[in-house]
Homo-oligomer: A and B are copies of this chain.
């Protein structure tokens, strides 16, 4: 019954109910998602197919096991100072954001626990529901020694304002769901464990609108952010790639790169 792409990804669990609400769960072996190179490649293809499949009426993005995304498996990316390797990161990194932006039905993010890596995926949703205990942070960039160039600045700047985004990314501290709500990033704060169920309730409301209304509302709402992504993220990833090469060069040759320990414990 379900489309063949639903079970093609090892890092994403896709489930869709009879009303067409697709839930996309980021995970690592079923547990909390630690982002790896495999995730990076799979999300590009997955979100393209999700966007093309007109049977998806609403899309919900969420994590697994009480968290959104908790860290990065740096080792899986290989030698990020290699220009060919970074070229792939650049190309995939720009493409995945465009593909999420191209989902042409309302997108809701349901955030529990840590959104400490790639929270820009959540900020590409139209509405974010966050549990009381959810936290936002960026453990993968400036604190780890590289430029926050993959869209994390673009999306936070777009939704929270540039001043907050710059300070948040330069001096990263866990940001509570409540503060993110005050900043206009999170639309609703709910009790822990209730983010997904609230997202489903909103989905039910949004489904009352006709198909073209749902699709075109998303198209209209995402357009200004999509333009910013196109103008900023490719360059941002190039700047980040150069910084990653500089970081590796600046590290003692034999030691484990400090960056690789950035994964939040």
Binding site for B on A (CB under 8 A): 44-45, 48, 51-52, 54, 82-84, 86-88, 90-91, 95, 98, 102, 104, 106, 123, 126-128, 142, 145-149, 153, 157-164, 166-167, 169-171, 183-188, 202, 205-206, 208-213, 215-217, 219-221, 223-228, 230-232, 234-236, 238-243, 245-247, 249-250
Contact = CB atoms under 8 A, between A and B. Distances in A.
A212 B163 contact: no
Contacts of A245: 83, 212, 245
B162 A242 contact: no
A205 B173 CA distance: 13
B83 A170 contact: no
Contact of A242 (B171, B188, B216, B246): B216
A235 B90 CA distance: 12
Secondary structure at the A interface, as helix, strand, loop or mixed, is helix
A162 to B, nearest CB: 6
Contacts of A90: 242
Given A84-B246, A126-B166, A145-B213, 14 more contacts: A83-B249, A87-B216, A106-B170, A147-B213, A161-B184, A162-B224, A163-B186, A212-B242, A212-B245, A216-B242, A220-B235, A227-B227, A235-B238, A245-B245
Copies of the chain in the assembly: 6
Contacts of A104: 91
Given A84-B246, A95-B102, A224 B232 contact: yes
Contacts of A82: 249
A158 B149 contact: no
A230 to B, nearest CB: 6
A90 B187 CA distance: 30
Contacts of A106: 170
Given A104-B91, A160-B184, A84 B212 contact: yes
A87 B187 contact: no
Contact of A158 (B95, B126, B146, B162): B162
A98 to B, nearest CB: 7
Contacts of A219: 234, 239
